[in-house]
Amino acid sequence: MLSDRPVTPSTLSVKDLPWQILWDKEKCTLCGKCTAVCPVNSIELGVFRKRVFQATLNPEDTPGNLHTIYHGLRQKTDPAYACVGCAMCNMVCPNDAIIPARSDEADKLRMHIDRGGQPRRRGGRRNRAGGVLDQIKFIRISMLTDPALDAGRHEFELRTLLGRILPPEESMKCLTQNGWIPPVREIYPLVIGGMSFGALSPNMWEGLQMGVAYLNEELGMPVRMCTGEGGCPPRLLRSRFLKYVILQIASGYFGWDEIIHALPEMKEDPCAVEIKYGQGAKPGDGGLLMWYKVNKLIAAIRGVPPGVSLPSPPTHQTKYSIEESVAKMIQSMYMAWGFRVPVYPKISGTSTAMAVLNNLTRNPFAAGLAIDGEDGGTGAAYNVSMNHMGHPIASNIRDAYLTLVTVGKQNEIPLFAGGGVGKNGNLAANAAALIMLGASGIQTGKYIMQAAAGCLGSETDRCNICNIGLCPKGITSQDPRLYRRLDPEMVAERVVDVFLSFDTELRKIVAPLGRSTSLPIGMSDALGISDKDAADRLQIKYVI
Amino acid sequence: MDERQYHVISGRENGERLDSRILEELVQSAVERNRTDITVEAYGQHGIGGRLWKTGTTRVHVRVEGHPGQRIGSMGFPNTLIEVMGPASDDVGWLNGGATIVVHGNAANGCCNGMAQGKVYIDGNIGARGMTMTKHNPRFDPPELWVLGSVGDYFGEFMAGGIAVVCGVNPQNPKNILGYRPFVGMVGGKTFFRGPHAGFSEADAKLVPIASSDWAWLRDNLTIYLEHIGKPDLVDELADPQQWQLLEARRPQEKKGKQKRSMRSFREEVWDRELGNGGLIGDLTDLDRSPIPLVTSGELRRFVPVWENRKYAAPCEASCPTGVPVHERWRLIREGRMDEAVDLALAYTPFPATVCGYLCPNPCMHACTRQSAFMAPVDITGLGKASINAGLPELPPLSGNRVAVIGGGPSGISIAWQLRQNGNEAVVYDRSEDLGGKIVSVIPESRIPKDIVVKELDRLKEVIPHVHLQQDIRKSDVEQLREDFDFVVIAVGAQKPRTLPIPGNERAVTALNFLEKAKTGRFSPGKRVVIIGAGNVGCDVAAEAHRLGAEDITLIDIQEPASFGKEREDAEAAGAKFLWPVFTREITADGVVLTNGELLPADTVFVSIGDAPDIGFLPEDVATAHGFVSVNELFQTSDPRIFAIGDVVKLGLLTDAIGAGRVAANAIIDILAGRRPEYSPKKMIDRERIKLEYFDPRITSFDDMDQCGSQCSSCGACRDCGICVAACPQTAISRVDPEEGGDYEYVVDPDRCIGCGFCTGACPCGIWDLVENTPMG
């Protein structure tokens, strides 16, 4: 910045930014890698003037000045180029000479990234650490009272059911009267939640699907992955791998005409159809795939021309009541595969979830309900939606389960919980807590991004630029120059690692409960928490 | 051994089964009494035969008849031989510390669990979880378990040492003599076995060839085992090395998870085979999606440097209405080409000395990038003054195109000069005898030495034909000129002084009138003068009035005076007072009466509130507005063949008039050449691209032109310093020498460049830009 540039209200100093680049002149070798890799061009080579004031009292000398120049890294302060803290500079630096550091105070940038009246939008997560899931302990360590199981030695087959499970008499009645009973899938309880082809890069998406296929075909783990709303590549639709896929339909219906065209050529039915009504991370906000991410490839899969923005409205058109929304959509989606594929809705965590659930209990086609809590991640949303809207998953899933208990249907409509599961790294513990609170299965997305692809997001507003196509890890970018940084095979390997280690951890938790084949769904007497209010609210034990 | 005398201890007394504790006391007591051969009649008592250490090394032989309970021989000592004459219950040899235990029958679950030393010989099969958690303490021989038949499920779990031998004779399950899931968690020891199995924990154990030393051990100990169980005849059947296999614990370094297919293999043989070449989206794109590193070059660079030499105008050039590329002149100075630096200006202005050196307020210097960092702008006036020596370039022969220019002032001369340089004849019509307009007739000599003007005009007169008009031009004259010439240019300036609509305005002398007369010395203003209008012209009036004898000079204005620069300084030097805001009510013989009633006494009152064009002679189809000729950005009037430039269009500086002449001339040249005329001046470079850090900020004035040249930041024009070449970490930039008649270039080798932008960051002149690479995909 020129030194006499007039300041505007939005003129910021480095101190005002959320991330400050610490650069060590001594270590820097000026190789240029940091500026070449910085996703948002926050740093540049700067020319610095160094003045040496040569003072002397020697009458024969005259005091003077010596000006020299040096070059180094300079952080830009223009809000448009503010450092996002991704630390790719540090990753490429051969001398460890540069690293971003989180400011020690609330930044001023947040008040100035609405230039032109456009509030901040971003990807990522809520940026709040903590949460009740991490506080829940598993307090039933019944080595002697239940059959003692050894997670490392005994055999486990942790599975859950996705689909409507009618009571035996109703099931028989259904079969004899209608010749049909609702389809049910036996799947692994940890599902990769909906992340669209578009939100994710081709390499990321393929890596996830490949990993899922590997888990199924090489390791016998029936892991499922939801497509998110963005269609499904035609080849996948026509492959046997489709059975590992939960197809998502949402308000934009992107890619669904391609799915319909593929129907006659499908070798397998998909695992299920998820109707997305809401996303926990950004309830009330829709999809925001911007035009610069819609290249030829994305366009082909979504069935649109390239270079257009693809907003998924937050609400479905043509649906005006809960009965209409749920019944109409579920019926339509069942028909697509001749009533062979379970169909269930996914909603954001909300205080109105019980109304939806009550409605589903009366609909024999409803194959389950997925509830997505506020702590989930997203590719793009308004800041305000991400930070301030939504419902925590723990009490929502608990209420839902207890509602089912009240109506005696707790084993009939599986609940899937998502939203911040594993956000602090405790995937299995969070998942187990939710299962014992009443979830039949868990959906996770963000953890997979981090663990399988090295997403840099943290709960400190780090990176969070998924929405602008500049993901430095190539996870959410459609630019080959970025997504080729990600090797689908490596992603697939990490998916496998994640599921295997999750499986071991889940065993470690359920083994002391004597569970090796049936999940402890709703087994809330195994849960404790040292927060009395939380214990009361969740109806679990208060332990100190 | 049967010949020995056995001390019999019964586990039953008076028809009652003895408690395990009592039986243990009886056995221990017998041993203490040196009974070394004992028969125990067992009735399910626990732990029989263990812990018989009280004889020291003397051998103790315990024969167990009946039904021993669990953990027979537990914590057994090396001196002890236990012989169970029938089948045994769970945990035979549990935590065995050295006893030899022979079971003449099957043994149940948990056989040898936790055994550390000793030998257990089973003449039959064993149940589940045999040989689990066994150890080998290096101080002792490893423990051994010999089983004639087969073992139950989960055999060898967490086995940490010892040797198991499973002979496979009459096994319980002939298809699998090792049971279900054996050796999970095995970390040490080995197992010889003879017969089929249904898999074992490959993560923990491995099959190894039987070395000759292993075979020798097995062969020797097999005999001992068979003797113990009383079946030595079996040795021939069992002593066939081909029938045996040996399984060992993997060492920690060899441990592995479940044997898994590599992802590469899965991708190639499963994934791509099912989906087709290119995997998931191979049908939708042929883009290469193979992995690339974080730092890339060539077409994989995210950003590409571009050498934008002279793409943008330097601030001096952009802010000069005449458009003189001042920084290029400094470049020539730096290159030691003083003459060319001087001559260059003549291509842009006919008055490089008069205007740039003296009369111009030098917008170029105000715009100088150095100003933006509190540094002294490069001083152009010296170079301007030196331009008096600029020589006429060789002019092209006349093409036959002819343009009439009405008005021989700065704008008229400018366009005539530009047209002539391009080979067009431009004839100037002016009422004055001499060319020069207001420069000659109005501007005081205090501001411009007469000889400078004369010399510059002389230079031009040779090439610009001048028609001296004897009378005011009329509409019919213009129409005639339009007939006779290809184009007509109106450059008559603003000759009509504006006056005030107040009483006594006829007493006032207009500035224009006065300055013209002052030049010839034909005016005496008196001692006291009041000048209404304190702009720069008012200041000129003040200075001239002072020169002509005025002593008490007052300039008044209705607002803060807009005067500045040399004019203002000269007026102040003449002792002029500035009064504002004041409003004139009338002009009387005594002076100026203000609206507040105050009288400003004056011998002469001057009105200097601007001049207006006199455009009555214009043909009606030439549009005007508010007394000025309307033109487009090319200075073309509503008649496409008539252009208008200078004050007749808009009042301005001399340099504005000269610049207008250039723009209009270029438009005319374009039209004559059959091109669509365009007004597309270069955009000014963003000053932030310039790196002033390379310059000494403490320089406040310049000693000479060489210093000016060296301190010019050459905004937007490469100074050929080579800093980019040196700054590039990849040595991707090189200088390419000019081809014949061309210019040098700095070029980037895309295969070396990583798009770091260091060239952009380091370039003092802001030539390099870093732009996004062409989108892919």
pLDDT digits (tens, 9 = 90+) for B276-315: 999 999 999 889 999 999 999 999 999 999 999 999 999 9
User: What does residue B586 show for φ and ψ, rounded to 5 degrees?
Assistant: -160, 165
**Sheet strands (E) in B533-583:** 552-556, 577-579
CB atoms A36 and B757 under 8 Å: yes
Give me the residue label for tokens 């008039």.
Answer: B657
**Residue B624: inside a domain:** yes
Same domain, B66 and B99: no
Local confidence band at B257 (pLDDT 50, 70, 90 cut-offs): low
Lowest mean pLDDT among A173-177, A272-276, B731-735: A173-177
| B333 contacts: CB under 8 Å, gap ≥ 6 | B341, B383, B705, B706, B708, B709
Mean pLDDT of B624-651: 92
Does residue B387 or residue A148 have the better pLDDT? Answer: B387
Same domain, B509 and B643: no
Domain with CATH 3.20.20.70 in chain A: 132-370+379-417+431-441+452-542
Local confidence band at A303 (pLDDT 50, 70, 90 cut-offs): confident
Query: Containing domain of residue B15, as a range?
Result: 1-70
CB atoms B157 and A153 under 8 Å: yes
Q: Which residues of B604-634 are buried (b: 16+ CB within 10 A; e: fewer)?
A: bbbbbbbbbbbbebbeeebebeeebbebeeb
pLDDT above 70 for A242 = yes
Sign of CA dihedral B656, B660, B661, B666: positive
pLDDT above 60 for B3 = no
Whether the CB-CB separation of B687 and A2 falls below 8 Å is answered with: yes
CB atoms B266 and A492 under 8 Å: yes
Whether the CB-CB separation of B278 and A203 falls below 8 Å is answered with: no
Looking at residue B653, which CATH number applies to its domain?
A: 3.50.50.60
Whether the CB-CB separation of A186 and A441 falls below 8 Å is answered with: no
Lowest mean pLDDT among B4-18, B125-139, B342-356, B432-446: B432-446
Residues of A in contact with B153 (CB under 8 A): none
**Residue B20: inside a domain:** yes
Give me the residue label for tokens 């040492």.
Answer: B161
Same domain, B591 and B624: no
pLDDT digits (tens, 9 = 90+) for B519-529: 777 788 888 99
CA distance A475 to A485: 9
Query: Best of B260, B264, B756, B774 to disrupt the A interface by mutation (most A CBs within 10 Å)?
Result: B756
Q: Is B41 exposed, middle or buried (0-12, 13-18, 19+ CB in 10 A)?
A: middle
Residues of B in contact with A486 (CB under 8 A): 291
CB atoms B285 and A297 under 8 Å: yes
Q: What is the mean pLDDT of chain B?
A: 91
**Single residue among B236, B254, B272 that ends a domain in this structure:** B254
Query: Distance between terminal CA atoms of chain B?
Result: 90
Local confidence band at A2 (pLDDT 50, 70, 90 cut-offs): low
Query: Best of A43, A52, A88, A210 to disrupt the B interface by mutation (most B CBs within 10 Å)?
Result: A210
Same domain, B605 and B587: yes
- In this predicted structure, what is the pLDDT of residue A318? 74
**Residue B313: inside a domain:** no
CB atoms A210 and B266 under 8 Å: yes
CB atoms A218 and B274 under 8 Å: no
Q: What is the mean pLDDT of chain A?
A: 91
CB atoms A484 and B261 under 8 Å: no
CA distance B183 to B202: 9
Residues of B in contact with A5 (CB under 8 A): 372
Mean pLDDT of B189-194: 96
List the single residue in B283, B373, B761 with the smallest CB-CB distance to A2: B373
Residues forming beta bridges with residue B64, ordered by sequence position: B40, B84
3-state secondary structure of B497: strand
CB atoms A47 and B282 under 8 Å: no
Same domain, B653 and B578: no
| B580 contacts: CB under 8 Å, gap ≥ 6 | B534, B556, B557, B558, B559, B560, B561
- In this predicted structure, what is the pLDDT of residue B66? 94
Mean pLDDT of A189-194: 96
CB atoms A489 and B287 under 8 Å: no
- B204, closest residue in chain A (CA to CA): A153
Closest CA–CA distance from residue A238 to any residue of chain B (Å): 8
List the single residue in B261, B373, B754 with the smallest CB-CB distance to A36: B754
**Residue B768: inside a domain:** no
Which DSSP letter does residue B505 get? G
- In this predicted structure, what is the pLDDT of residue B20? 94
Residues of B in contact with A302 (CB under 8 A): none
Residues of A in contact with B763 (CB under 8 A): none
3-state secondary structure of B206: strand
Give the DSSP H/E element, type plus range, for residue B403.
Answer: strand B402-406
Whether the CB-CB separation of B116 and B135 falls below 8 Å is answered with: yes
User: What does residue A386 show for φ and ψ, rounded to 5 degrees?
Assistant: -70, -40
CB atoms A492 and B267 under 8 Å: yes
Does residue B157 or residue B740 have the better pLDDT? Answer: B157
Same domain, B240 and B275: no
Percent of chain B with pLDDT over 70: 99
CB atoms B762 and A47 under 8 Å: yes
Rounded to an integer, what is the distance from CA B48 to the centroid of its chain?
A: 80
The domain tally of chain B equals: 5
Which DSSP letter does residue B686 get? P
CB atoms A300 and B284 under 8 Å: yes
CB atoms A239 and B755 under 8 Å: no
Same domain, B246 and B280: no
**Residue B654: inside a domain:** yes
Residues of B in contact with A3 (CB under 8 A): 373-374
- In this predicted structure, what is the pLDDT of residue A16? 95
**Residue B359: inside a domain:** no
Local confidence band at A462 (pLDDT 50, 70, 90 cut-offs): very high
3-state secondary structure of B620: coil
- For the domain made up of A14-118, give the CATH fold: Alpha-Beta Plaits (3.30.70)
Instruction: Name the CATH superfamily for A132-370+379-417+431-441+452-542.
Output: Aldolase class I (3.20.20.70)
- In this predicted structure, what is the pLDDT of residue B2? 52
- In this predicted structure, what is the pLDDT of residue A1? 46
List the single residue in A67, A234, A295 with the smallest CB-CB distance to B283: A234
- In this predicted structure, what is the pLDDT of residue B1? 46
Query: Best of A215, A484, A497, A499 to disrupt the B interface by mutation (most B CBs within 10 Å)?
Result: A484
Residues of A in contact with B263 (CB under 8 A): 210, 214, 489-490, 492-493, 496
Same domain, B241 and B109: yes
Residue A344 CB neighbour total at 10 angstroms? 26
Local confidence band at B515 (pLDDT 50, 70, 90 cut-offs): confident
**Residue B604: inside a domain:** yes
CA distance A452 to A200: 13
Between the alpha carbon of residue B403 and those of residues B146, B198, B476, the distances in Å are 123, 108, 17
CB atoms A37 and B295 under 8 Å: yes
**Residue B81: inside a domain:** no
**Single residue among B672, B688, B723 that ends a domain in this structure:** B672
pLDDT digits (tens, 9 = 90+) for B374-391: 899 999 988 888 888 888
Same domain, B507 and B576: yes
Q: Which two tokens stand for residue A528?
A: 């404790």
Looking at residue B130, which CATH number applies to its domain?
A: 2.160.20.60
CB atoms B281 and A1 under 8 Å: no
Whether the CB-CB separation of B9 and B39 falls below 8 Å is answered with: yes
Same domain, B438 and B537: no
- Helix crossing, B654-672 with B410-421: angle to 10°? 30
Domain with CATH 3.30.70 in chain A: 14-118
Closest CA–CA distance from residue B199 to any residue of chain A (Å): 15
Whether the CB-CB separation of B201 and B186 falls below 8 Å is answered with: yes
Same domain, B249 and B267: no
Sign of CA dihedral B35, B38, B44, B47: positive
Residues of B in contact with A492 (CB under 8 A): 263, 266-267
- B185, closest residue in chain A (CA to CA): A153
**Ramachandran area for residue B657 (φ above 0: left; ψ -120 to 50: alpha; else beta):** alpha
CA distance B428 to B162: 120
Local confidence band at A5 (pLDDT 50, 70, 90 cut-offs): low
Whether the CB-CB separation of A90 and A99 falls below 8 Å is answered with: yes
Residues of A in contact with B274 (CB under 8 A): 239-241
- In this predicted structure, what is the pLDDT of residue B4? 65
User: What does residue A75 show for φ and ψ, rounded to 5 degrees?
Assistant: -90, 130
CA distance B689 to B359: 31
- In this predicted structure, what is the pLDDT of residue B435? 84
pLDDT digits (tens, 9 = 90+) for B225-250: 999 999 999 999 999 999 999 999 99
Closest CA–CA distance from residue A494 to any residue of chain B (Å): 10
pLDDT above 80 for B481 = yes
pLDDT digits (tens, 9 = 90+) for A195-208: 998 889 999 999 99
Same domain, B604 and B618: no
Local confidence band at B768 (pLDDT 50, 70, 90 cut-offs): very high
Whether the CB-CB separation of B580 and B561 falls below 8 Å is answered with: yes
Cβ pairs A/B, distance under 8 A: 193
Between the alpha carbon of residue A206 and those of residues A223, A304, A457, B262, B282, the distances in Å are 15, 21, 21, 16, 11
